[in-house]
Amino acid sequence: MKSILDNRPALAKEVYKVAEVAGYLWQKGWAERNGGNITINITEFVDDEIRSLPAISDVTPIGTTLPNLKGCYFYCKGTNMRMRDLARWPMENGSVIRILDDCASYVIIADQPVKPTSELPSHLSMHNFLIGKGSDYKASLHTHPIDLIAMTHHKPFLEKDVLTNLLWSMIPETKAFCPRGLGIIPYKLPSSVDLAQATIKELEDYDVVMWEKHGVCAVGIDIMDAFDQVDVLSKSAQIYMTAKNMGFEPAGMTAEQMQEMTVAFHLPK
């Protein structure tokens, strides 16, 4: 079957990175059933032939107006699709959409009319925000990491930067590779525009945010970058839990050790 990825190696590479990450999400136990979603901004790979592809779906409202997305194209995981299936068949479990000129609706253009993720309002709001601030980030990831979600069931962890500092202090790499820390968003209905708005507000300060009792949302240069940031935070959460399971509160790196690291790796404060 013909695919939009045929003879477009640069675009295919990005989509196959999504497939690779989808496999990791499943292996990690972060992607039960249809859990999680991924979107990537692929506008830079779009040629005249893609621009002239006809719609293969109805015009569908996004639910919000996103002025920076005019003429943009995204690869999106399909709603109700499984990450473990997407890992093998990305173009059967996801699709490419075109944002229409009203910036408030989209059509699917390839390969098949797979309806995009239920979290499309959040994902597209994040891309709109990123473009607006001139960021070169192209990927957005939502997933359900067991350890990090469990931590949001404990009220003291929901205070600003409590989890950021706790997780950073478990192992030096976490601050090095997730230097902006972990934002917290109080519980909101999945897929809601409310959740989307709260998410972009937190992206001002963080690349990874927790949706209380639901999951994480991360943005990055590409999908590997977004995944890696969640992965290092999850590693820290595992170290914390392992120490607690051994019956003690982990000491954490000292303030001096954190400061030394921050200077040595040229990290933000």
Residue 121 found at the interface with Zn ion (CB under 5 A): no
At 209, which helix (H) or strand (E)? strand 208-211
Q: Min. distance of Cβ 36 from ligand 2HA in angstroms?
A: 5
Which amino acid is residue 179, in one-letter code? Answer: P
Report the b/e string of 159-193 with b at 16+ CB within 10 A: eeeebbebbbbbbbebbbbbbebbbbbeebeebee
| Residues 246 and 157 sit within 8 Å (Cβ to Cβ) | no
36 or 252: CB nearest ligand 2HA: 36
x/- mask, Zn ion, residues 41-70, rule CB under 5 A, reads ------------------------------
Report the distance separating Cα 207 and Cα 177, nearest Å. 11
1 or 189: CB nearest ligand 2HA: 189
Q: Min. distance of Cβ 75 from ligand 2HA in angstroms?
A: 15
Positions that interact with ligand 2HA (CB under 6 A) = 34-37, 117-119, 142, 190
In the list 90, 94, 181, 215, the residue contacting Zn ion (rule: CB under 5 A) is: 215
Q: Min. distance of Cβ 211 from Zn ion in angstroms?
A: 7
Strand partners for 98: 73, 107
- Of the candidates 32, 44, 92, 119, the residue annotated as catalytic is 119
With CB under 5 A, what is the number of residues at the site for Zn ion? 1
124 or 253: CB nearest ligand 2HA: 124
Rounded to 5°, the CA angle 54-50-88 comes to 95
Residue 185 — φ and ψ, nearest 5°?
Answer: -120, 120
50 or 83: CB nearest ligand 2HA: 83
Structure tokens at 269: 């404060």
Question: Closest CB to ligand 2HA belongs to which residue?
Answer: 190
Residue 117, judged by CB atoms within 10 A of its CB (0-12, 13-18, 19+), counts as buried
Report the b/e string of 39-70 with b at 16+ CB within 10 A: bbbbbebbeeebeebeeebeebebbbebeebe
Q: Min. distance of Cβ 216 from ligand 2HA in angstroms?
A: 11
Active site residue 159: no
Contact partner, 140, from ligand 2HA, Zn ion, none, Cβ < 5-8 Å per class? none
**Cα torsion through 24, 30, 34, 38, rounded to 10:** -60
Q: Min. distance of Cβ 23 from ligand 2HA in angstroms?
A: 17
Contact partner, 147, from Zn ion, ligand 2HA, none, Cβ < 5-8 Å per class? none
Indicate which residues carry an active-site annotation: 119
Residue numbers at the binding site for Zn ion (CB under 5 A): 215
